[in-house]
Structure 1
Amino acid sequence: MFRTVALATGSLLLLPGLLSGCASANAAGAHVGYADRAGPVVIGTDGSARSRVVAALYGELLTRAGQKVRTADTSYAFPVDTAQAVVDGRISIAPAYESTLLRAMPGGQTMPGNMEATLSMALPPGIVALPPAAAQGGVVLAVTRSTAGRHKLRSLADVRGAGTGLTLGGSASGDPDAPSVAALKKVYGITLTPAGTAEAADIRVLRSTDPVIAWDGLVVLADPKSVVPPEHVFPLISAPAVDLAGRTALARVNTLLTTAQLAKLTASVDAGETPGRAARAWLRAKGLQR
């Protein structure tokens, strides 16, 4: 069974099996679950450093807004699992990502094109996806500075002028959102040779928060024709659990949390810093917390 999930801005998504488990609907049709009841806001994450540090940001902001917060006892395997837990009422809030949720639609289609139109469906009562941050957690294509300088690359559209000798590969080559050489040929008219997961590929397919981008000073190529679907991070919430002050506080990270900033936060946690400490330092640096 499929039910629908929407963004607060009017953008919507589908998820499978929603409103299952401990969640239910009351006589008025409002969603009711464990996380909706009186008590602290329960934040859930998947096991990634990215999810844990974003959840820590949410927790700090909600606490400052006067809400009691605790971390869920369960760490979920994937972002779709945390989203399902919000809908089921097992947790109150979790970081979610556009394309990851879109892949949960019937048939797995992402309906490429206009993302706003793709997501324009209806929310299950009581579940709200707040506006997304500028940060994306999806796939990017990057090159070394020397490759960028040699071929004058700043965008995927520039690759066509580099000829046919470049290879495409990297650690995120198997990601569902990773573009194939055929897709890049069709969209940008460029010819590349597939190199699988080879780290030495000329054009590297990486997650946007991969610390190697900063460590190696890679140049992320712009994607003006959106061959890679967007993967902005946003808070998926159980509306009864997060009040207006909490939602307002969460919205303050929208423009400040860029992909580069999220990559730095993720790298800090991967290096051993606790998500809470990394989140507090970032919020203080941005003037969002004393």
Structure 2
Amino acid sequence: MTNQDPQFQNPGQNPADPPFDGGRAPQYGQPAQGGAADPYGPPVGSRFGTQAYGADAPYGAPVAEPAKFRTLLTLTLLSAVLYLLSSIPGLFMDTEGQTRAQLEQAGMSPEEIEQALQFGGTVGVISAVAILLIGLGLYALVYFGLKSVKNWARILGIVLAILSVVGAVLGMLAAGLLLAACGGDPLSAASSSPAAQADASSGGAGDVIRVGSANFAESEILGELYAQALEAEGLQVERKMQIGAREVYIAALQDGSVDVVPEYTGNLLGYFDKEATASSSEEVAAALEGALPQGLTALTPAAAENKDSYNVTAGFSKEHGITSLEDLAGYEGTLRIGGLPELAGRDYGAGLSGLTEIYGVPQEKMAFTPISDAGGPLTVRALTDGDVDVANIFSTTPAIQENGFVTLEDPKGMITAQNVVPLMSTAKVSDRVRTALDAVQKELTTDDLLAMNAATMGEEKKQPRQVAADWLRQKGLV
């Protein structure tokens, strides 16, 4: 006996209709089976679980869309947007300082810390992006599941919505507590740390020291030397490297957004005193002390310098017996000199006019070739290729050692001293800060700068932070 037997038919059912399914709930938009005349039990609810089928619904009519369906779709989309907005900040959150401090407390070396931070940063970004995409994928699954009238989509959507709201609320509470602890200033995130409190109790400023640098590699290396020495002293440090030119970082020092930057004494003196005539290291340091505006302090200068230098090839030096700027006046023939275009200017103390006025080199015996690469590869090549006899190259350029150039001595002090010096906001100077930075300044030499600059170039191409860490460890300062 089959379902087509009249005794198993629903009363009033047309034999041509599909067999009665025992009261299973139809999906939204599908014909209702059973109803007021169904003798097998009361009407059952839809798969949405939001309302029962009406007892007065005519047999075969489509099930009405549940009243809460559109609301559920809208809430799912809103929940997905909330999840996205609360997840994006995590991709850009900077926790390097806190992580670094934890690794240092764990006794890791600077090299191990750098490797861990690099690996952790990469893994962190990949993980955050993956979690974000997985979450968005689940929301898409819920949304299209609801559109396809799947009951599991309703349940999963409610769970995801609850989790996203709870997560967003907890995240906002955590951010609020962090800002409250920092006095509302994100830059003061470390001000309540034990190291900062210790600094306050020992006469320091009591909060983070912001270390900056100019926008070239040597300045960043020096900035890292200062930053890591301060950290070794137990002070909290925030890095703001590659700020820009002198005008930019001087303004940052004066407005308090940066606390210390590496500088060069001669150029710094010339920046604040256009009429300065000091030349030697001692003279420049003394003049600088009186030239700095209120609120800025120069700490102890190092022996290390980066300044103009006149260089010749070893062959030229040996052939003509030239080892000093004084020797140039006795050169027979025309001296072909290459370097910055500014060297031809009357107001450039280390230029051609200085060679004439101080060392007696006749103007008519000098042929100048301007090369606009600040003593870089073009200037070096001009000297090695024999296009010029003398080249002006900054004294810490690695090419000087790499090519065996002879840097001509300057016995009369024509070239203004450019000793490396930490320039600080006076309000941030403390005994602990001064002790940490003075230790670096005492050890730093021009040869050290040459070696560290070389380490960032060529085959090594080390990062400034790693170069600084290596030097500090070699000198026993960390």
Asked whether the two chains share a fold, i.e. TM above 0.5, the reply is yes
- Summarize the alignment of residues 1-290 of structure 1 with structure 2, pairs less than 5 Å apart: 38-72=206-240, 75-105=242-272, 108-113=274-279, 114-116=283-285, 118-121=287-290, 123-170=292-339, 172-174=340-342, 179-191=350-362, 192-197=366-371, 199-200=382-383, 201-271=388-458, 272-289=461-478
- Shift of the 178–266 alpha-carbon distance from structure 1 to 2, 3 Å rule, reads farther
CA distance in 2, matches of 1:65, 1:104: 32
Higher relative CO (Cα under 8 Å, sequence separation at least 6) belongs to 1
CA distance in 1, matches of 2:270, 2:258: 22
Identity across aligned pairs (percent)?
29
- Normalization by structure 2: what TM-score? 0.49
Greater shift after overlay, 212-221 or 236-245? Answer: 236-245
CA distance in 2, matches of 1:261, 1:173: 28
CA contact (8 A) 1:177 1:229 kept: no
CA contact (8 A) 1:45 1:75 kept: yes
Q: Which runs of 5+ in 2 are unaligned?
A: 1-203, 372-378
CA displacement, residues 6-34 of structure 1 (integer Å, 9 cap, x when unaligned): xxxxxxxxxxxxxxxxxxxxxxxxxxxxx
CA displacement, residues 175-209 of structure 1 (integer Å, 9 cap, x when unaligned): 78573323201100124321222523211101112
Moved over 4 A (4+): 122-126, 175-178
In structure 1, the residue matched to 2:85 is none
CA contact (8 A) 2:216 2:242 kept: no
Greater shift after overlay, 206-215 or 267-276? Answer: 267-276
CA distance in 1, matches of 2:417, 2:442: 16
Greater shift after overlay, 149-158 or 88-97? Answer: 149-158
Q: Which has the higher helix share?
A: 2
Give 1:125 deviation, angstroms.
4.6
- Shift of the 264–80 alpha-carbon distance from structure 1 to 2, 3 Å rule, reads farther
Q: Which has the higher strand share?
A: 1
Give 1:259 deviation, angstroms.
1.5
CA distance in 2, matches of 1:248, 1:103: 27
- Shift of the 236–70 alpha-carbon distance from structure 1 to 2, 3 Å rule, reads same
Query: For the pair shown, which has the larger CA radius of gyration, 1 or 2?
Result: 2
CA displacement, residues 207-228 of structure 1 (integer Å, 9 cap, x when unaligned): 1122211221111111111211
- Shift of the 130–112 alpha-carbon distance from structure 1 to 2, 3 Å rule, reads closer
CA distance in 2, matches of 1:62, 1:276: 14
